[in-house]
Structure 1
Amino acid sequence: MAHQRPDILRAMLTVINGAMAALAGAVVLSLRPWRMLQGALLTPALAALALLPWLWLLPQKMPQGLQVQLSGACLLVLMLGWPLAVLVLGGVAAVVWGVGQAPAEAALHQWVWIGLVPATLALGIGAALRRWLPANPFVYTLGRAFLGTAVAVFVSGLLLEGLQQLAGLPVRDLSLVARWLMAWGDAFLTGMFGAIFVAFAPQWLATWSDARYLKPPAPPP
């Protein structure tokens, strides 16, 4: 029976992943975010479906033991908003499952922990920054796009490590260090593209508003 225990624990983790995915899917379907694709957001959504699967396929293409993984979920939240980003990330996971060599459980795991959880944390961080910090382009690009991405990706890694430890699954040594470094890789890409889109293609950022972030300062009393 001892040799069956890891399989049972992995099955329990898959059930948890499925429950989280089902809950997020129900919320997304109730919001009907595909209506936003009638505007300028169709282009970044299609670009994400074409490009992001190759980032998610990196762990399958790297040598064993060198698991390089980039998310892109926080950038999608900035560009598409949380509901549409979750929907597109589901499509990305489906493409990874279709063209990759990993089973469906692995694709579901990626959708939840590389896509859904960082995207949800990025949504919460963005809401907190909007609530507590002034409406400033630097707050958006440096706070939400750069630092917010680093926190969201790293915390999602911490949550996954904690869940695996609670389930009794083995955790690789130094994995937290690797997750911390990879979080900053995601933060650099999100911050860079966020700043570029703010300057040259703000219509591709559903979370950006010229009226909010570029409004003139209030006159002195």
Structure 2
Amino acid sequence: MPLEPLLALLALAAALAMRPWRMLASARPLVHERHGAPSPLWTPLLATLVILPWAWALPTLHHMPLQLQWSGACLVLLTLGWPLAVPTLLAVGLLAALLSPSLGWGDAVALAVWQGLIPATLAMLLGALVRRLMGRHGFGGARMFVYVLGRCFLGTALCLFASGSLWQAMGHPLPGVGDALSLVARWLMAWGDAVLTGMLCAIFVAFKPQWLATWSDDLYVPKAGTPG
């Protein structure tokens, strides 16, 4: 079996073993509040399934000298959490293949793995490392900035560039450019993704923290009397 389908199956099996549907089981989607409040994660989930397939399919829908690719995987990970992000990103890859006639199923699976699952998994591991370093009281009142700047902004750039570099090292440079220029392009695209992810997560932290499955007031918002 090729590497990408194997990685996709392993990630999907691990994610389903954690029963991610429990995160959405509080109510049906789009139900009026008087009939039971829907899970807040339905909003980022449905937004991902509507918007992200078009972003993934766009480079194959138009002939461009340099195929710029927006991933969005780290944003999906931060909003949905890893168990729910895995099947969502695989679904995004399949929807992208349906939207673009020139994107084959094998290419869609590879895209879902290297532009979706790998950076999302790296972002999850980075988040675990950040939480371990912080403990309960580390960084004092700066813990919110550690989340926004560390996980959402810098973490997104590093995870996406690491995933793209690994994919290129396995023989998949960007079409039409050399290896060195391809790495530069991946670095710049990672920062573009990071700016958007950091900006949206900062807005969500301020106004819609319930849309961030990886956010915790207890962990990132210092309480009165907490040593700083």
For 1:127 and 1:171, the matched residues in 2 are separated by: 36
For 2:123 and 2:148, the matched residues in 1 are separated by: 13
For 2:40 and 2:51, the matched residues in 1 are separated by: 18
Q: 2:188 matched to which residue of 1?
A: 181
- Specify the code of the residue in structure 2 equivalent to 1:32: R
Shift, 1:217, TM fit: 4.7
2:86 matches 1:86: yes
For 1:172 and 1:56, the matched residues in 2 are separated by: 22
Residues 83-106 of structure 1: CA deviation (Å, up to 9, x unaligned) = 101111111111111121211011
Decide whether the 8 Å contact of 1:97 with 1:103 is kept in 2: yes
For 1:219 and 1:162, the matched residues in 2 are separated by: 46
Q: Residues 26 and 60 of structure 1: is their aligned pair in 2 closer, same or farther, counting only changes over 3 Å?
A: same
Q: Residues 182 and 219 of structure 1: is their aligned pair in 2 closer, same or farther, counting only changes over 3 Å?
A: closer
Tell me how large the CA RMSD over aligned residues is: 1.8
Gapped runs of 5+ residues in structure 2? 26-38
For 1:219 and 1:36, the matched residues in 2 are separated by: 30
TM-score normalised per structure 1: 0.87
Q: 1:77 matched to which residue of 2?
A: 77
Decide whether the 8 Å contact of 1:79 with 1:204 is kept in 2: yes
Matches within 5 A, 1:10-21: 15-21=2-8
* Correspondence for 1:140 among 134, 147, 160: 147
For 2:207 and 2:45, the matched residues in 1 are separated by: 17
* Correspondence for 1:172 among 169, 172, 178: 178
Q: 1:36 matched to which residue of 2?
A: 23
Q: Residues 171 and 67 of structure 1: is their aligned pair in 2 closer, same or farther, counting only changes over 3 Å?
A: closer
Q: Residues 214 and 83 of structure 1: is their aligned pair in 2 closer, same or farther, counting only changes over 3 Å?
A: same
- Specify the code of the residue in structure 1 equivalent to 2:11: A
Tell me the percent identity. Answer: 53
Residues 57-111 of structure 1: CA deviation (Å, up to 9, x unaligned) = 1211333432010110101111010110111111111111112121101100110
2:112 matches 1:111: yes
Q: 1:96 matched to which residue of 2?
A: 96
Decide whether the 8 Å contact of 2:56 with 2:70 is kept in 1: yes
Residues 6-64 of structure 1: CA deviation (Å, up to 9, x unaligned) = xxxxxxxx701011111101101111102211321111101110011111112113334
For 1:65 and 1:18, the matched residues in 2 are separated by: 28
Q: 2:28 matched to which residue of 1?
A: none
2:137 matches 1:163: no
- Specify the code of the residue in structure 1 equivalent to 2:201: G
Aligned residues, how many? 203
Decide whether the 8 Å contact of 2:66 with 2:177 is kept in 1: no
2:57 matches 1:57: yes
For 2:73 and 2:64, the matched residues in 1 are separated by: 25
For 1:81 and 1:44, the matched residues in 2 are separated by: 11
Runs of 4+ deviating beyond 6 Å: none
Shift, 1:163, TM fit: 1.6
- Specify the code of the residue in structure 1 equivalent to 2:131: R
TM-score normalised per structure 2: 0.84
Decide whether the 8 Å contact of 1:118 with 1:156 is kept in 2: yes
Decide whether the 8 Å contact of 1:161 with 1:171 is kept in 2: no
